[in-house]
Amino acid sequence: MTALSPTRSVLALIEEGATSIGDIARRAGLDRGVVDMAVQRLVAQGYLSAVPLAIGCPDEGCGACPSGDGDRPGCGGTPTAGPVMITVVPSRR
């Protein structure tokens, strides 16, 4: 059996239903940094699409946010920036 390249392994695991960088890294036996680079390469090549999903901040401010730290943002952003989740989905190529 021929060993797959890290990029092909990552794509195969995504197609099998892997849902996170950590899950892919664990299942493939790869470092998370290698998985990150493979995903970036797959996006650049058009095999995957990265879709930002703006969740937004609560109207009450950082104090009402689950990631908030008092009145400071726990997301590392500014109170107006809001957290953003990146979802990687197979493209329709």
Q: What is the pLDDT of residues 13-37, one digit of tens each?
A: 998 988 788 899 999 999 999 998 9
Q: What is the pLDDT of residues 66-91, one digit of tens each?
A: 666 667 766 666 555 444 455 566 55
d(CA 29, CA 43): 21
pTM, 2 dp:
0.60
29's tokens = 């036996």
Q: Which residue has the tokens 């999903």?
A: 53
Among 16, 22, 52, smallest CA distance to 36 is for 22
For the chain, domain boundaries: 1-45, 49-93
73's tokens = 């943002």
d(CA 35, CA 65): 30
Q: Which helix (H) or strand (E) holds 37?
A: helix 32-44
